[in-house]
Amino acid sequence: MADGGWLYSDGGRQRFNATTLKQYDYVIYPNNTISNYSSCVLAFGGYIPTVIGNGSWYNSTGCDTPVRPIRTRGIVGIVAAIIFGVLLVLSLVALNKHGKSFLPAEKRFRLVGRRWPWYWCIITASVGMISGFTAVDVDRVWVLGTAAIFHFIFYLVTLPACLSAIWEMTRNWASFEERKGVDEDFARYRQDDLRSKIEFYEPLLFYLFNFLSFFLSILRAWNPIARSNVNVITDGRFQASSIFSLLAWITTVVAHLIARHYYKTRKAPWKITISLLIILIRIAFNIGSSFNYSISQLRYQATPAYIYCLGYLPVILAISVILYSGWKEPNEDQELLRLRNIRIATLDQEMSTMPDRKSTGKHGTERKSHANQSRRTNRPPTHDYWGDNRENLV
């Protein structure tokens, strides 16, 4: 509202020099904020800023300063952050358990390959915890700013990080199946056949799709997104990012089916099947929200139930499945030693039940022992060295 040389906000309760505001491109918006896109201040109620001749403000409160009470999004965000914190600790415990080596290092099966699932679990839990804590200020600020940007960025990172954890778990399962076969028969799996070539290109394809999903959704300008710009939140980059996440998921499924074909496993591991089905919920939600603004998780007015039930919860459950399997399953080296001991015990048992060839004849009949035969007691005659015809000298 303008009156001569003054501009008003807060229903006319506050007034500002119109010449100074226009000189520095300040605009009074209907939500009672004054901004020129480089700085933004509140101008209502008890927030009474003063503009001076050089365009700066004093006694001002920034638009991204938390001024409202905590709401549902923030409360549930704290709960989610605590859960992710617990998952972070459990991931470290799992890394300590499965990252140890009890056998000599093998060039074909590197120790770091077994650790990658837990590395990605740690990353997922860390970014989820940060996103949960930053959600506290999303509903408390008058205009979305830094807090909302950090909240949305780390929330989006949880999907590619969780997909990577599931992928590495699937790849490591296949690698261990190969390792068990090689340990039993070194020549069982060649390193120059079609199977090895497929396993070489699978990670490249997965991480290509996963990186493209990360790049398109995260590495971009975030100020328009913080303002809930509908044209940006549902643009082609977010739509393509969600599709690439689905392609990364499909790559994981196909890699798992190929591994089952080559390693002749009787049934699919429950941890892979369940985690893939759970994370598919988050992928579907991402696809839907990138095309439909009304359910977008990046919208300021979005219902917290959407982002927590369809966004955070699938990630929490998928990581929980991976960690539970890590708690139930033994260290790979220890399991390999156990299988070796079983094979050795079986071989010893088979050897002990085989008939003794020394104690059987040509047709399997038992030979008579020389101990049961009568021994000759008569000694051969000795030579008479003395000429007196002595015999049987002792």
For residue 130, tell me if it sits in a domain. Answer: yes
187 and 335 assigned to the same domain: yes
Is the torsion defined by CA of 347, 348, 354, 360 positive or negative?
positive
For residue 351, tell me if it sits in a domain. Answer: no
171 and 225 assigned to the same domain: yes
Q: Residue 192: left if φ>0, alpha if ψ -120 to 50, beta else—which one?
A: alpha
CA distance 328 to 98: 11
CA 382 centroid distance within chain: 93
211 and 321 assigned to the same domain: yes
Q: What is the pLDDT of residue 3?
A: 59
CA distance 122 to 126: 6
Task: Annotate 20-56 with b (16+ C-beta within 10 A) or e (fewer).
Answer: bbeeeebebeeebbbbeeeebbbbeeebbbebeeeee
Residue 41 has φ and ψ, to the nearest 5°, of -130, 155
For residue 296, tell me if it sits in a domain. Answer: yes
138 and 284 assigned to the same domain: yes
For residue 322, tell me if it sits in a domain. Answer: yes
54 and 76 assigned to the same domain: no
Dihedral angle over CA of 267, 106, 348, 362, nearest 10: 110
More confident position, 221 or 246: 246
159 and 250 assigned to the same domain: yes
97 and 165 assigned to the same domain: yes
Task: Tell if the pTM clears 0.85, that is, is over it.
Answer: no
At 175-205, the pLDDT tens digits run 888 888 877 776 677 777 888 899 899 999 9
> What are the angstrom distances between the C-alpha of 26 and each of 34, 47, 61, 225?
6, 17, 15, 21
Chosen domain end from 13, 28, 58: 58
Q: For residue 33, what are the domain limits?
A: 2-58
Confidence band of 372 (pLDDT split at 50, 70, 90): very low
Q: Which of 37, 62, 68, 31 is nearest to 49 (CA)?
A: 62
For residue 388, tell me if it sits in a domain. Answer: no
Is the torsion defined by CA of 205, 210, 216, 218 positive or negative?
negative
What is the chain's mean pLDDT, rounded? 84
Q: How many domains does the chain contain in total?
A: 2
- Residue 181: Cβ-neighbour burial (10 angstroms; 0-12, 13-18, 19+): middle
Provide the token pair at 327.
Answer: 């708690």
At 310-347, the pLDDT tens digits run 999 999 999 999 999 999 999 988 888 888 888 888 88
For residue 357, tell me if it sits in a domain. Answer: no
168 and 279 assigned to the same domain: yes
CATH of the domain at 334: 1.20.1070
200 and 157 assigned to the same domain: yes
Confidence band of 386 (pLDDT split at 50, 70, 90): very low
18 and 81 assigned to the same domain: no
CA distance 120 to 319: 10
Residues 177 and 265 sit within 8 Å (Cβ to Cβ): yes
At 20-60, the pLDDT tens digits run 888 888 988 888 888 887 888 888 888 889 888 888 888 88
Q: What is the pLDDT of residue 2?
A: 53
Q: Which of 126, 55, 29 is nearest to 86 (CA)?
A: 126
For residue 30, tell me if it sits in a domain. Answer: yes
185 and 267 assigned to the same domain: yes
208 and 234 assigned to the same domain: yes
Residues 104 and 120 sit within 8 Å (Cβ to Cβ): no
For residue 112, tell me if it sits in a domain. Answer: yes
Q: What is the pLDDT of residue 390?
A: 43
